[in-house]
Amino acid sequence: MINKLNKSNYLLWLCILGAVLILFIVTAAIADSISHPAAVEPAKTAAPRETKPVSNVKTGNRIGDTAPDFALKTTDNRDIKLSDYRGKNIILNFWATWCGPCRYEMPALQTIHENWSKADVVVLAVNVQDGFDNARLYAKTNGLTFTIPVDIPGKVAEQYGARGLPTSFIIDSDGVIKSIKIGPFINTEEIEQRMAGFK
């Protein structure tokens, strides 16, 4: 009889202890969720709006880059910037009067200027490390009528990585470099072939 009572008491205490343990776990869980609201799923907020870049083309001096802007004075005393010609296709040529290969290609550039100016093609022949008087005299003597900016210190040529003369950059109406020619153009046909990427 005593053994039966002991077993019953033991089972009763075991049940009470189990109930207290369950009650303790539930209370602890509730207290934890109250004291740590971060554990609860946060309210959904509107996702940040994605902004598209103006252009994904970087500025540089390689094919596919946007041509770097620059400001120079021309032989006819105008202040120009490359960006003034945005919307037009540009043949940007770096040359000097003392450069034999540069002199060789000048007639071809003049022909392109005469034949393509109405089609929004601009020839900008940047005279490098030469001077206004020399460039102006050479242009007058040889009947050159395209725009000749003068870069006496050669900083724009350096910006474009033009290490040798002549060097030419074919730039489309969006300002993107489409072709680079190191050395002289042989004839107008070669220039026109490189202009094939123009819009």
pLDDT of residue 33: 42
Q: What is the CATH number of domain 71-197?
A: 3.40.30.10
φ and ψ of 43, to 5 deg: -65, 145
Structure token pair of residue 170: 């074919």
**What pLDDT digit, counting tens, does each position of 23-81 carry?**
545 444 444 444 434 333 333 434 433 333 335 679 999 999 999 999 999 999 999 99
Per-residue pLDDT band for 176 (boundaries 50, 70, 90) equals very high
Decide: 72 and 150 in contact? Cβ < 8 Å.
Answer: yes
What is the percentage of the chain residues whose pLDDT exceeds 90?
Answer: 68
For tokens 């003392």, what's the residue?
Answer: 98
Decide: 120 and 173 in contact? Cβ < 8 Å.
Answer: yes
Per-residue pLDDT band for 106 (boundaries 50, 70, 90) equals very high
Decide: 113 and 89 in contact? Cβ < 8 Å.
Answer: no
Q: How far is CA 32 from CA 29, 39, 48, 82, 102, in A?
A: 5, 9, 32, 66, 81
Q: How far is CA 136 from CA 16, 76, 126, in A?
A: 108, 8, 12
Give the side-chain half-sphere CA count within 13 A for 11: 5
Count of residues in the chain = 199
End-to-end C-alpha distance for the chain, whole angstroms = 108
Say whether 165 sits in a helix, a strand or coil: coil
Kindly tell me if the per-residue pLDDT of 16 is higher than 50.
Answer: yes
The string over 7-17, giving b where at least 16 C-beta atoms fall within 10 Å of a residue's C-beta and e elsewhere, is eeeeeeeeeee
Decide: 157 and 126 in contact? Cβ < 8 Å.
Answer: yes
Average pLDDT, the chain: 83
Say how many C-beta atoms besides its own lie within 10 A of residue 110's C-beta.
19
pTM: 0.72
pLDDT of residue 153: 95
